[in-house]
Amino acid sequence: MIVMGIISYKVFPANMGGQKGVAMFYEYLSKQTETILVTTKENKTANFSVINQYNFLFNHNWGWLNIFYINKLIYLIRQHKVDVVIIEHSYLGFLGILLKLFTRKPLVIHSHNIEAYRFKQANKFWWKFYEHYEKWIHAKSNHVFYKTLEDATYATTKWQLKNHAYSVIPFGTDLKTIPFNADKETCRNFICNEHNINPNDVIFLFNGTLDFEPNIHSIQIIINEITPLLIQSNFQYKIIICGNRLQENLLQQIKTCKNLIYAGFVNNINTYIKAANAFIVPSFLATGIKTKIIEALANNTLVIADVENIKGIDVSALNNKLISVETNNSKAFSEIMLKTKLLKNENTPQQFYTTYYWGNIINKAILSLQNL
């Protein structure tokens, strides 16, 4: 089986959560089947084994211009004898529909979110127009890879898609088991030295692409709601914020906010995750699965998150490793943070790695592709 993946935005090199999700999907897929990638012009060549990678598409913001590449895409499908075409997100789904029409090859949409719902949450006035487009793309595809069962249920019930073939293919981790405690201790010592943190302080971490609306919202909550509540108590802590594309006004607020540290973009986010007592996600603006939550759990770090952010994560075996807080309740959120040292320090269970290890996820995806 030969698979062509079409990616409508910058992924390589993969530095951020969404980029990592796409890159790891194709890295593990390419280990099991011949994989060809067609990406946008700003991408570099993937650092894993793909037979061919072509970087000529326009970014999805100018996606309609890719109609001029339809003949080139058809040629590549025929040249490489592609069996299945996968489109990342619904943005360039119209290209997939045309390729399916002209080549008779089955089309798979890799849906990372219900995009229309995300745009609705972000108060985009045009979200309803996108919903009609997104529904059409999903209905015309041969199969959809959803990140969560909740997304799949939304599509099948809200959009009333009939005979809808789909699989739930979550974001994963390349860790097969929990990291050694000694490794976590080493990371904590490094971070404390790097940022002049008292070793006895409780360290909280938040990271992400910081121009993304839910992440902006999280930082605003940390600055304006959580920090004032924590400062009222006799509590020794630091909150580290990692990521790029931070707005200048938020940067200035962080600089004047007690106990907040902006570390910027870091090359190895796992070092910070392992060092933290808890990873926090206070925003209630959420769609789909949060890649950073899976990363934190994989690194055996406690996660405290607004309940809206954990939808789609299998919490059945996580015990006290993932704590959900009533949505949009900063007081309750800060109270959990104050109790961090008192919480039972349980390890992420092995069942989590069985579910979210990329190798196992791709095995499931391959079965779905083989049945098309």
DSSP characters over 115-129 = HHHHHHHTT-TTHHH
With pLDDT > 90 as the criterion, what percentage of the chain qualifies? 80
For the record, the structure tokens of 314 come out as: 């299998």
CA distance 43 to 11: 6
The residue among 278, 363, 288, 366 whose CA lies nearest residue 325 is 278
d(CA 366, CA 354): 17
Contacts of 249 (CB under 8 A, 6+ apart): none
- In this prediction, residue 343 carries a pLDDT of 85
Instruction: For residue 135, give every residue at least 6 positions away whose Cβ sits within 8 Å of its Cβ, in sequence order, or none.
Output: 116, 155, 159, 161
Q: Is 2-172+357-370 assigned to CATH 3.40.50.2000?
A: yes
Beta carbons of 313 and 307 less than 8 angstroms apart: no
Q: What pLDDT is attached to residue 317?
A: 67
In this structure, is the dihedral angle defined by the CA atoms of residues 16, 44, 79 and 34, taken in order, positive or negative? negative
Q: Is the pTM of this model over 0.75?
A: yes
Burial class from Cβ neighbours inside 10 Å (0-12, 13-18, 19+) for residue 193 reads: exposed
Question: What is the pLDDT at residue 346?
Answer: 86
Specify whether the CB–CB gap between 107 and 64 falls below 8 A: no
Q: CATH 3.40.50.2000 spans which residues of the chain? A: 2-172+357-370, 181-354
Which residue matches tokens 């910058």?
Answer: 10
Check residue 287 and give its pLDDT: 61
Of 370, 291, 302, the closest CA to residue 16 belongs to 291
pLDDT given at position 214: 87
User: Chain-centre distance of CA 187, in angstroms?
Assistant: 23
Per-residue pLDDT of the chain (372 residues; tens, 9 = 90+): 999 999 999 999 988 888 889 999 999 999 999 999 999 999 999 988 787 999 999 999 999 999 999 999 999 999 999 999 999 999 999 999 999 999 999 999 999 989 998 888 778 999 999 999 999 999 999 999 999 999 999 999 999 998 899 999 999 999 999 988 789 999 999 999 999 999 999 999 999 889 888 899 999 999 999 999 999 988 999 999 999 999 999 999 999 999 999 999 998 999 999 999 999 999 988 665 678 999 999 999 999 999 988 888 877 768 789 999 999 999 999 999 999 988 877 899 999 999 999 999 999 999 999 999
* CATH number assigned to the domain with residue range 181-354, chosen from the 4 options 3.40.50.720, 3.40.50.2000, 3.30.2320.50, 1.20.59.20: 3.40.50.2000
Residue 179's pLDDT is: 86
Residue 366's pLDDT is 97
Q: In whole angstroms, what is the distance from residue 333 CA to residue 205 CA?
A: 14
Question: Collapsing DSSP states into helix, strand and coil, what is residue 213?
Answer: helix
Cα–Cα distance for residue pair 368/140, rounded to 1 Å: 17
β-bridge pairing 107-111 and 34-40: unpaired
